[in-house]
Amino acid sequence: MLSTEFTQIFSHVNQIFDQKAYLVGGATRDHLLGKLVTDYDFTTPLRPEEIESILRNNSIKPYLVGKRFGTIGFKLRVENKIHFIEITTFRGDTYKPKNRKPEIRFTTTITEDLTRRDFTINAISLSPDNIIVDPLDGQTDIKNKVIRAIGNPSDRFKDDPLRILRAIRFASNLEFEIEQQTLQAIESDNYSLLDISKERWVQELDKILKHTNRAEGFELLLSLGVLTHVIPELTLLHPDTWQKTLEELRTCDESLDDLWAVLLRHTGTIYQQNPDKKFTTEVNWKICKHLRFGNKRTHAILV
């Protein structure tokens, strides 16, 4: 059953854009899973300048930070709650080797827009007339609880290695399995994470840590060889200590910084059998520096 909020947002956005707004990505996926949709992303054949003009003509302030990529944001009030909506022109992305910023070209079809995305479960759209557009059969993968990269998984991950962390996050958070070819590509290509910024790593690691399945997420990160590149110290923990860390993560219901503190609680033991707090703090300060945490966040994790 559709929530009133979902129906109103979908209807209102299409009223604004004259029935030319397609719900896409995680919003459609979560809708099909029966989950609460919190992030509303739309795509449209309208060009960025048309989107901006329509919003201004409706006395709605456009947020133009992503305009050159075809994305414009705006706020919408529904049931006394403000929602931030993003709408993006249909586009195709072309990546050059060693360049994580794609060349953007605007297109005219929803199918081409969907096939540029990362995983089949995120390449489904709800059209303005409430018809599911699913050119890659993502609904079957949702039904079977499978994470499957679009096209050649290795190419998908080399285009943007962050997709490796996203695959693991989706698998753990949604309790899905990673399809075999996608899994093998993660194992063989995880070194490419070193080509992207650590700040992007942390955005995904934060999302894994904030979810109740965080321990399962970090088990996957270890088993697929990803932690070797991201937080190598955790791979050196004794297996019993690692299992203790995972159990502590499962039972922790604190802030994100506290969860990071729990994750790093036993790192001193890789160097000393019974390290004191000061020594472990020194180890974790280096990890925080490696992950490019700011001083405020580092302090919150270490105290």
Residue 103 pLDDT:
80
Kindly report the pTM of this predicted structure: 0.92
**For helices 214-223 and 198-210, what crossing angle results, to 10°?**
140
What pLDDT score does 104 carry?
Answer: 85
Strands (E), 165-276: 177-178
Residue 3 confidence (pLDDT): 76
Alpha carbon distance 160, 158 (integer Å)? 5
* Res 97: pLDDT: 64
Cβ contacts of 154 within 8 Å, gap of 6 or more: 185, 188, 189
pLDDT at 94: 75
**What pLDDT, on a 0 to 100 scale, did the predictor assign at position 303?**
84
Contact 192, 157 (CB under 8 A): yes
The CA distances from residue 244 to 31, 67, 82, 98, 142, in Å, are 36, 47, 41, 39, 32
Tens-digit pLDDT profile for residues 105-145 = 999 999 999 999 999 999 999 999 999 999 999 999 999 99
Residue ranges per structural domain of the chain? 4-144
Write the CB contacts of 158 (distance below 8 Å, at least 6 apart in sequence). 95, 97, 189, 192
Query: What values do phi and psi take at 114, rounded to 5?
Result: -70, -35
Residue 96: predicted pLDDT: 67
Tens-digit pLDDT profile for the chain (303 aa)? 467 899 999 999 999 999 999 999 999 999 999 999 989 999 999 999 999 999 999 999 999 999 999 999 999 999 889 999 999 999 987 776 665 677 889 999 999 999 999 999 999 999 999 999 999 999 999 999 999 999 999 999 999 999 999 999 999 999 999 999 999 999 999 999 999 999 999 999 999 999 999 999 999 999 999 999 999 999 999 999 999 999 999 999 889 999 999 999 999 999 998 889 899 999 999 999 999 999 999 999 998
CATH topology of domain 4-144: Beta Polymerase; domain 2 (3.30.460)
